[in-house]
Structure 1
Amino acid sequence: MAGISPNSAQVQEITLHAVSRTLEISFDDGERFQLPAEYLRVYSPSAEVRGHGAGQEVLQVGKRQVAITALEPVGHYALKITFDDGHDSGLYSWTYLYELGAQQQAYWQDYLNRLAAAGASRE
C-alpha cells in the first residue's frame, strides 16, 4: 500500500502459537512476521534488558526455552508480553514489533555473535 511505512503500519492480527512458542503478527501493509518467544525476550524493550543508555545493555542468556504466557494490548500502539521466566516489563510498540520482524535475521545473528563473544549460551 502506498504511504505505509514501518512507523505507520498498524497491526491487523496477532496469533500466539503456544506449541512452537511463536508470535505471529500481521500488519496492514501486508507484512507478516513469525517472531519466536526467545527472540522477543532477548530483544525486550525494557530497561532491564536495554539498560538506561548506550553501553548499558544486558546480554540475555539461557532463554532458549522461554515461552509467552500472556499478551495484553496497550492502547492502540503496543503489546505487553509476559514470559514464563517472569519478565513482563517491556512494552512492544507496533513500530518496534515491525522492526523486529523486518530485521529478524540481522538482529538474531548479532545476538548469536554477542553470546559467542561472551562465552555464553542460549541454554
Structure 2
Amino acid sequence: MRFRILADGDEESLVDLQSWLAADPGAARLEVATVTGRGPTMGVLEALDVILGNAVDVANFTLAYVAWRSVKRDERPGPAGDETGVHRLVHGNSTVSIGHLGADELADLLRRLNDTDTAGADE
C-alpha cells in the first residue's frame, strides 16, 4: 500500500519525520521517498511517499509515527495538543487527519486502507 504524508507547510517536521523513520529499528526498512515541488529558490519538500507491504510494516510505521508525534508535541511550545504540520495522510482520492489518532486507531486505519487496495487488486 502506498500513501503520502503531507508537509502542510511544515517542511522541517517532515524532514525530521523522515530521519526518525530511518533511525527507528522497525521502520528503517520501510520504503520512504521524498516528494518535492517548486519553491521560490529550489525544490520544496511537500510530502513523503510511504510504501507498506504487510502487517508488520503497518505496525512498524504506526509505532514510529506515534512515538515521533509524541516527542514533537512535547518539544513544541504552546497549548497542549499542538500539532505539527505533518498530520495529513493521502491515499488515493482520500485525505485523512491522523494527528489525533492513537496507535491502535492509526494501525486500524492503515489496515483498512491496505484491505481496500488488496480488494481492488483482485477485481
The bucket for the TM-score relative to the shorter chain is: under 0.3
TM-score with structure 1 setting the length:
0.27
Q: Which protein, 1 or 2, shows the higher relative CO under an 8 Å CA cutoff with sep ≥ 6?
A: 2
Q: 1 or 2, which has the higher helix percentage?
A: 2
